[in-house]
Amino acid sequence: MAHQDDGSGFSRRTFIGSIGVGAAGLLAPLGAGAAAQAAREVAAGATVAVTLQINGQAHRLEVEPRWSLLHVLREVLGLTGTKPGCERGECGACTVLIDGATRNACLTLAVEVEGREIRTIEGVARPDQPSAVAQAFVDEDAFQCGYCTPGQVMAAEGLLARSPHPSPEEIRAGMSGNLCRCGAYPHILKAVERASASRRGGRP
């Protein structure tokens, strides 16, 4: 019954490779220059230049076309507040805002978001300049281990950006893409309500 197996059944190479191919299509709407660049055949490890606008700052970077935004944020820029949970779009731990809308950084290629406004937890929640959402998460104890929390905060920021005063049901639906294995959901939902209420009272 002996047979050869090179173990590639467990490699993500095929998956990553297919995303790399897909990048050409994703790049097309961004402009002829970018599309032409992506249309060149690139060797593994070859990089392309991109400028990413992250938390109001421009970063000129050489990235491999297959790199996810999550990889670039964490491994290239050291912005580890954005967390990898599953790296396949199932948990929301890596939620960031792209032009104000929530997005899984693990399913977003870095080359795909050139010219877009990228906001991460580091740009939103700082102890010296707490956003209403971050402050509400602290006050309501809306976390346990804290690993999914930056993603929860970003999901809440995105939700309140598109719907400043959501109903409880909207909040549950809006936060349902972010798993919390510790099960802190009741406090998370309260924190989002609190943040919404404090914006109603505090800001025009």
Partner 1 sequence: MSGEASAGAGPGAPEPWGETRVVGKPLPRIDAWERVTGAAVFTRDLTLPDMLHAAVLRCPHAHARVRRVDLAVAARRPGVRAVLGPDGPGAAIPWYPDREGKPTSRLLDPDCRYQGEEVAAVAAETLAQAQEALAAVAVEYEVLPAVTDMERALDAGAPAVHARGNRQGERFGYSRGDLEQGLAQADAVVELTTRSACSVHTPMEVHCSVAHWEGHQLTVWDSTQGVFAVRAELAAALGLPLSSVRVVSHFVGGGFGGKLQLSKHTVLAALLARAAGRPVKLALSREETLRCVGNRPPNRLTVRAGARRDGTLTALGLEALGTGGAYPASATSGLLVGDLYRCANVRTAHDNVHVNAGPGRAFRAPGVPPAAFALEQAMDALAEKLGLDPLELRLANLPTGSQTRGLPFTSTGLERCLREGARAFGWREARARARDAGPLRRGVGLAAGMWGYEGDPRATALVTLLADGSATLNTGAVDIGTGTRTVLAQVVAEELGVPLERIAVENADTGTTQFSPPSGGSQTVLVNAPAVRAAALEVRRKLLGIAAGELHAAPGSLRLEGGAVVTAAGRRVLLKDLAGLAERVSLVGVGERAPHPPGKLALPFAAHFAEVEVDVRTGQVRLLRLLAVQDSGRVMNALTFENQVHGGVVMGLGFGLTEERVLDHATGALLSRGWHDYQLPTALDAPASIDWLPVDPHDRECNSVGAKGLGEPAHIPTAAAVANAIHHATGVRPLEAPMTPPRLVALLARARS
Q: 24 to 83, contacts with partner 1 by CB under 8 A?
A: 44-45, 74-75, 78, 80-83
Residues 6+ away with beta carbon under 8 Å from 164: 196, 199, 200
Binding span for partner 1 by CB under 8 A among 95-103, 158-166, 167-175, 193-201: 167-175
Closest contact distance (angstroms) between CB of 15 and partner 1 is 10
Q: Which of 48, 132, 148, 195 binds partner 1 (CB under 8 A)?
A: 148
The gap between the terminal CA atoms of the chain, to the nearest Å, is 73
> Which span sits near partner 1 by CB under 8 A: 6-14, 31-39, 55-63, 194-202?
6-14
- Tokens representing 200 are 């109603």
Cα angle 8, 9, 15; round to 5: 85
Q: Exposure string (b/e) for 8-44, b if CB count within 10 Å is 16 or more?
A: eeeeeeeeeeebbeebbebbeebeeebeebbeeebee
Q: How far apart, in whole angstroms, are the C-alpha atoms of residue 12 and residue 64?
A: 16
Binding to partner 1 in span 100-139, by CB under 8 A = 120-122, 125-127, 134, 137-139
Which residue, 30 or 136, is less far from partner 1 as judged by CB?
Answer: 136
Four-CA torsion 54, 135, 78, 123, nearest 10 degrees? 10
CB of 50 to partner 1, least distance (A): 18
Nearer to partner 1, 146 or 164 (CB): 146
When the beta carbons of 36 and 47 are compared against partner 1, the nearer one is: 47
Q: Decide whether 33 or 78 has the Cβ nearer to partner 1.
A: 78
90 lies in the site for partner 1, by CB under 8 A: yes
As given in the structure block, the two tokens for residue 117 are 């406004």
In the list 20, 65, 85, 158, the residue contacting partner 1 (rule: CB under 8 A) is: 85
